[in-house]
Amino acid sequence: MEIAKNNFELNDLLQNINGNLGFVPTMGSLHEGHISLIESSKKLFDNTVVSIFVNPTQFGPGEDFEKYPRNENNDIAVLKRHKVDLLYLPSASDVYPNDYAPISFTSPLTNKLEGALRPGHFDGVIQVVYRLLSLVNPDGIFLGKKDAQQLKILSLMIDQLTLPVKVHACEIIRENNGLALSSRNAYLSKNDKVSASTIYKGLLSAKAEFRSGSLDTEVVTAAFIDSIDPSIIKNIDYVSIVDQATFTPTNGSINSDALMLVAVRFGSTRLIDNIELTI
Ligand code: PAF
């Protein structure tokens, strides 16, 4: 595996690559969710490039930028084991040089749900992914469905700016108990991880309610709320059912393919998850 530690090295290495390119952007601290993105890329593309960059612009004041788990040596070993072709490990000045003009793209979706609770978060994600795409210039980008709103916003950006890259959305990878994998799970103890699986149980209850014929948004939402253990999850930031295609909240009856999106606080850690409610 080649490693590019700056843009000069990246350009050099990219020039020597033959064939098409799949790209997996990450913030490191890699887990099986990332590995599944990498393996999907390797199946479809001649070469797979992974980036690791903990992007400061997507963290708000008081969020966990400083303590975000960083595991570079272990990540490099994991990527070598999975035979990734190229790892891009930029510094902040490679991604955001002084003369860099931010891309102007926004969507009303950036201020909803996660965006309402984390102002500026999606603007930071848009900036970094646009910049990484312009540096790496891949044919495909691999993104996880766990960050469903991020996936939607980035797909809109790529579509509306007609960027020449295809989005590949990959399934959520879960622990055996259902907890969705996330680098932030590193903040949870072993017992916490068992308890946090109540989130997925709640999502499954909502899906079962929906599948049994309840199309009422309130009834399906209540199935989630009623089935999670309130002694474990004391704060629900949001539970929302949105139309899968437009991300507009379903009011009243769920009459198109939908997604239930949830964000809860588990101690001092925020966890997000979602489940598809398909007709
Ligand atoms: O999902 C993530 O890990 C990040 O938001 C991303 C897409 C790598 C941008 O920093």
State the pLDDT at residue 266: 84
Annotated active-site positions, please? 34
Cα–ligand 1 centroid distance for 214 (angstroms): 35
Q: Is 223 in the pocket of ligand 1 (CB under 6 A)?
A: no
Our mutation pick for probing the ligand 1 site, out of 114, 150, 170, counting the most ligand atoms within 8 A of Cβ, is 150
Cα–Cα distance, 167 to 188 (Å, whole number): 31
CATH code of 109's domain: 3.40.50.620
Q: Give the closest residue to 202 by CA, choosing from 172, 229, 241.
A: 229
Residue 232: per-residue pLDDT: 87
137 shares its domain with 231 = no
Given the structure tokens 């099986």, which residue do they identify? 32
Ligand 1 in reach of 181 Cβ (< 6 A): no
Three-state DSSP at 52 gives strand
Q: Which atom of ligand 1 approaches the CA of 25 most closely?
A: 8
Q: Ligand 1 centre and the CA of 53: distance in Å?
A: 8
Question: Both tokens of residue 272?
Answer: 């997000």
| CB distance 147 to ligand 1 below 6 Å | yes
Residue 42 near residue 22 (C-beta atoms within 8 A)? yes
Q: Is residue 278 part of a domain?
A: no
**Is 199 in the same domain as 153?**
no
Q: Is 207 contained in some domain?
A: yes
Average pLDDT, consecutive stretches of 10 residues, N- to C-terminus, the chain (279 residues): 98 97 98 98 98 98 96 98 98 96 94 97 98 98 98 98 98 97 94 93 97 97 95 92 95 94 91 95
Instruction: Looking at the structure, tell me whether residues 247 and 206 fall in a common domain.
Output: yes
Q: Which two three-digit tokens encode residue 115?
A: 């965006």
Q: In this predicted structure, what is the pLDDT of residue 268?
A: 84
- Which secondary structure element, helix H or strand E, spans residue 60, and what is its range? none
What does pTM read for this prediction? 0.97
Domain end point (choices 137, 170, 203):
170
Is 176 part of any domain?
no
Evaluate: CB of 114 within 6 angstroms of ligand 1. Answer: no
Looking at ligand 1, which atom is closest to the CA of residue 147?
Answer: 1
Residues spanned by the domain of 249: 183-272
* Rounded (5°) CA angle 189-224-236: 55
Of all protein residues, the one whose alpha carbon is nearest to atom 5 of ligand 1 is 125
- Spatial contact of 29 and 148, defined as CB atoms under 8 Å apart: no
Ligand 1 in contact with 94 (CB < 6 A)? no
At residue 156, φ and ψ (nearest 5 deg) are -65, -45
Q: How close is the Cα of 124 to the center of ligand 1, in Å?
A: 10
